[in-house]
Amino acid sequence: MSIATTPTGIGIAEAAARPKRGLGKLVARLLVYGLPTVMILLPLVSFLASSFLGQDNGKPTGGLTFANYAAFFTSSSYLYVFFGTLKLAFTVALISLFFGYILSYLIWRLEGSARYLLLLLSALPLVMNYVVKIYAMRSILGFNGFLNTMLLSLGIIEVPSRLFIFNQTAVMLTMAVIYLPFGILPIFLALERIPQSLISAAADLGAKPGQIFMTVVLPLSLPGSIAAALFVMVIALGDYLTPQMVGGSEGFTFGRAVWSQFGMAFNWPFGAALAVMLLLAVVALIALASLISRTARVR
Amino acid sequence: MSLPERITVTLLWIIGTITFAVLYAPAAIVILLSFVGVKDRKLDWSDLSLQWYGKFASNSQLIDALSNSLIVGVCAVVIASTISVGLAYYMKTGARAGRSYVEFVIFLPFVLPAIITGISLLIAFRQVGIERSLITVTAGHVVLILAVIYRMVTIRLDALENSQIEASLDLGANSWETFVHVVFPQLRSALLTSSLLAFALSFDETLVTFFLVGGETTLPMRLWAMMRTGFTPEINALVSVVLCVTLLFAALAAMSLRESIERKS
């Protein structure tokens, strides 16, 4: 492009500017490729590397070792928490898929500004402060909370229940409420991608609305919706503050285990190794999600 | 519509309405409790007042944290926008072999759980010997929101005809002048929308910030600390105010997004 700008021959000033421009290009290239590398990739690499660092009672020994990973795989309690958290995040994803699909489907059927407004309303809880949402959920689920008060006054239970707070159920319910909105928009987009002509064709050929849903809408939107649910599962897996706040001692999750190594336990290499296990699970989920949405697109 | 279908749809709407109610329950409770006190598991309507709104305004810890959050948010958005526009413009003005690499790296923090990003940055800062402060927090936010701004800017730039840039260059403008007079004016609405969104993300960011925060804290960190020692209704008041401001911003962002979609189609 720079050649096209100099059809009149090279003037003295431009000749002087030449090496400078070459330097500028080099600097630009360095910035463009260097900045993301330094800001994002290098920290990730140093995190991965630090999971192989040896340590003795919290002091780094400097050598490289697999001991941190060995400690994870030989500890039944860490393995138990790891799979327990996978199960928990999976449940949250299933809840998001079910209720998210219903909400998205209802909104998708609407027309005009009601559709736009409801879509906006379903995304709005995302911008509400996360810490406050956890706190509000605790005051809803707690022993003296709104849920217990409501169930008591409805006569469903006789005494306040401790079933909803400081256990895995509490973590699951809170995460479901907080992360459901993340599922709605992608599911809605999956529904939006269905060509209107297919639905009209099915209707012209005499399919009833229920049949159209079961044979056209559901099969075409399910892959995208499952991918959305897997995305919710990824977010739920990495959360460590929600279980900390509403989980109590029973609601211990893998995210909390990782976090505690960087806080109180102060064993960074082991914490990094635990985080790598989390990362592997996440990468597997993302790969699965992209596989599902890709096969759906090919068909 | 036949009867069973009508019943199904009604049922779905009931489930949908309840889901909506549950999604908004946390916000509703916070706003309610900012006005009304609680006594013996019951709302005490005689306690209805605006006193907590006055109290939070005089809580210097909260106000400090709030202003820290605003500063971090604005800085992160400005830095991330500058980087995004630079990167996107570079990719636009030539066939760049490394484009997929750069985009892959930028989108990583957006896809990976926040805890991974937080730990990575913490370890990296420790290795180069940078103490945790608001600067490290800002760096973390830049990394996180880069993907959002870059994506929106590239979508807008890709829609821009290459011939406009070529014409400007042919007519004697250098690439800086071309950028200022031809490209940037067309990016403004995309930048505005993505900046609002990115600011909202930064303002609420908790899971990465936790690993990077030093002595001075942001609002979510302060709220977390207060929550552990006992929440007071003044926090409900502050959060209600924040909520209303965010709603306003979200409405603005949604409107400008809708505008840009309609203009494109």
Measure the N-to-C terminal CA separation of chain A; round to a whole number of Å: 42
CA distance B204 to chain A (A): 6
Counting every residue written for chain A, the total comes to 299
Cα–Cα distance for residue pair A44/A41, rounded to 1 Å? 5
Chain B positions in Cβ-Cβ contact with residue A39 (cut-off 8 Å): 139, 142-143, 146
Which pLDDT tens digit goes with each residue over B90-137? 888 776 778 889 999 999 998 899 999 999 999 999 989 999 999 999
The angle subtended at Cα A12 by Cα A6 and Cα A15, nearest 5°, is 60
B129/A contact by beta carbon, under 8 A = no
Q: Give the pLDDT confidence score for residue A299 in this predicted structure.
A: 53
Cα–Cα distance for residue pair A218/A215, rounded to 1 Å? 7
Q: Which fold has domain A76-298?
A: MetI-like fold (1.10.3720)
Cα–Cα distance for residue pair B249/B200, rounded to 1 Å? 8
Q: Give the pLDDT confidence score for residue A80 in this predicted structure.
A: 94
Count CB pairs under 8 A between chains A and B.
Answer: 199
Q: Which tokens is A119 given? A: 């879509």
DSSP code per residue over A123-152 = HGGGGS-HHHHHHHHHHHHSTTSHHHHHHH
The angle subtended at Cα B27 by Cα B18 and Cα B32, nearest 5°, is 105
Cα–Cα distance for residue pair A172/A175, rounded to 1 Å? 5
Cα–Cα distance for residue pair A171/B98, rounded to 1 Å? 42
Contact flag A238-B115 (C-beta cutoff 8 Å):
yes
Q: Which tokens is B184 given? A: 């940037």
Cα–Cα distance for residue pair A67/A73, rounded to 1 Å? 10
Residue A15 corresponds to which amino acid?
Answer: A
Contact flag B207-A241 (C-beta cutoff 8 Å):
yes
Among chain B residues, CA nearest to A255: B115
Q: Give the pLDDT confidence score for residue A9 in this predicted structure.
A: 41
Q: Give the pLDDT confidence score for residue A266 in this predicted structure.
A: 78
The angle subtended at Cα B244 by Cα B240 and Cα B249, nearest 5°, is 145
**Of chain B residues 43-82, which have a CB less than 8 A from chain A?**
none
Give A53's strand partners: A64
B111/A contact by beta carbon, under 8 A = yes
Among chain A residues, CA nearest to B204: A129
- Which single residue is written with the structure tokens 């296990």? A277
Q: Are A243 and B35 in contact (CB under 8 A)?
A: no
Cα–Cα distance for residue pair B40/A16, rounded to 1 Å? 83
Q: Are B44 and B243 in contact (CB under 8 A)?
A: no
Cα–Cα distance for residue pair B211/A77, rounded to 1 Å? 25
Instruction: Report helix, strand or coil for A55.
Output: strand
Q: Give the pLDDT confidence score for residue A1 in this predicted structure.
A: 41
- Rg of the Cα trace of chain A? 26
B90/A contact by beta carbon, under 8 A = yes
Cα–Cα distance for residue pair B102/B147, rounded to 1 Å? 11
Which pLDDT tens digit goes with each residue over A41-71? 999 999 999 999 887 665 667 778 888 898 8
Q: Low-confidence residues of chain B, pLDDT below 50?
A: 265
- Which single residue is written with the structure tokens 């409900």? B236
Classify residue B41 as left (phi > 0), alpha (psi -120 to 50) or beta.
left
Q: Which tokens is A204 given? A: 């012209």
- Which single residue is written with the structure tokens 């985009």? B103
B187/A contact by beta carbon, under 8 A = no
Q: Are B113 and A231 in contact (CB under 8 A)?
A: no
Which pLDDT tens digit goes with each residue over A167-181? 899 999 999 999 999
Q: Give the pLDDT confidence score for residue B102 in this predicted structure.
A: 92
Q: Give the pLDDT confidence score for residue A123 in this predicted structure.
A: 85
Q: Where in chain A are the domains?
A: 12-67, 76-298
**Top-level CATH class of B60-264?**
mainly alpha
List CB contacts of A106: < 8 A, sequence separation 6 or more. A118, B12, B13, B16
Classify residue A239 as left (phi > 0), alpha (psi -120 to 50) or beta.
beta
Q: Give the pLDDT confidence score for residue A78 in this predicted structure.
A: 93
Q: Are B237 and B33 in contact (CB under 8 A)?
A: no
Cα–Cα distance for residue pair B84/B82, rounded to 1 Å? 5
pTM of the full predicted structure? Answer: 0.87
Q: Give the pLDDT confidence score for residue A48 in this predicted structure.
A: 93
pLDDT in tens, chain A (299 residues): 444 444 444 444 444 445 556 787 888 888 889 999 999 999 999 999 999 988 766 566 777 888 889 889 998 899 999 999 999 999 999 999 999 999 999 999 998 888 888 988 888 888 788 888 898 898 888 887 888 888 888 888 888 888 888 889 999 999 999 999 999 999 999 999 999 999 999 999 988 888 899 999 999 999 999 999 999 999 999 999 999 989 888 889 999 999 999 877 778 899 999 999 999 999 999 999 989 988 776 55
Q: Give the pLDDT confidence score for residue A142 in this predicted structure.
A: 84
Cα–Cα distance for residue pair A274/A154, rounded to 1 Å? 45
List CB contacts of A62: < 8 A, sequence separation 6 or more. A53, A54
Q: What is the mean pLDDT of chain A?
A: 86
Tell me the ipTM for this assembly.
0.85
Q: Which of B220, B241, B28 is nearest to B140 (CA)?
A: B220
CA distance B69 to chain A (A): 12
Contact flag B13-A130 (C-beta cutoff 8 Å):
no
Contact flag A5-B169 (C-beta cutoff 8 Å):
yes
- Rg of the Cα trace of chain B? 23
Q: Are B148 and B192 in contact (CB under 8 A)?
A: no
- C-alpha of A45 from chain center: 21
